[in-house]
Structure 1
Amino acid sequence: MRLDKFLKVSRIIKRRTVAKEIADKGRISINGRVAKSSSDVAIGDTLVIVFGNKTLTVKVAALNELTKKEQAGEMYTVVDESYKESY
């Protein structure tokens, strides 16, 4: 499954166009490698996503083409969520 579609279906990022923009700016990595929006995501991959001052690390648990809002959280597990402090 494409990275931008996974981020949208899993509801980590609400819109696919936003997921594409973030990925194409080099702010997402898959297993330690910088990823583009068209990169393939597989079960067991570790994604690191940088949102401004927040860094989210998740592990892919499932790949579903469609999912309901309540089940979206089952597609990944949060490994780490950290914030940078700004002064």
Structure 2
Amino acid sequence: MRLDKFLKVSRLIKRRTVAKEVAEKGRIAINGVVAKPGTNVKVGDELVIRFGPKTVTAKIDRLEENARKEAAAEMYTIISEVRNSEEN
């Protein structure tokens, strides 16, 4: 599954266009490598997303093409959520 679609379906980022923009700016890394919007993600991958005043690290637990709001939160596990003191 594409990174931008996963972020939208899992509701880590609400809109796919926003997910695409964040990835194009180099603010998302998969397993330590900067990712593009079309990068394929798989179960077990670790995402580091820098957006707004925080950095979120999440592990992908499940992939689904469509997910209800209740099931979306089960697609990933938040490992850490850090507030950045200064935005670049």
**TM class, shorter-length:** over 0.9
CA drift at 1:22: 0.2
Q: Tell me the equivalent position of 2:2.
A: 2
Distance 2:22 2:84 in 1: 18
Q: Where does structure 1 differ by over 3 angstroms across 4 or more consecutive aligned residues?
A: none
Distance 2:43 2:13 in 1: 18
Q: Tell me the equivalent position of 2:66.
A: 66
Specify the code of the residue in structure 1 equivalent to 2:13.
I
- Note the residue ranges of structure 1 that are not aligned, 5 or more in a row: none
Distance 2:20 2:36 in 1: 8
Q: Tell me the equivalent position of 2:36.
A: 36
Distance 1:23 1:46 in 2: 15
Specify the code of the residue in structure 1 equivalent to 2:34.
V
Q: Tell me the equivalent position of 2:11.
A: 11
CA drift at 1:70: 0.6
Distance 2:18 2:10 in 1: 14
Distance 1:52 1:43 in 2: 26
CA drift at 1:85: 2.1
Count matched residues. 86
Query: What's the % identity of the aligned pairs?
Result: 62
Q: What is the TM-score with the length of structure 2 in the denominator?
A: 0.95
Q: What RMSD over aligned residues (CA atoms) do the two structures have, in Å? A: 0.7
Distance 1:16 1:83 in 2: 23
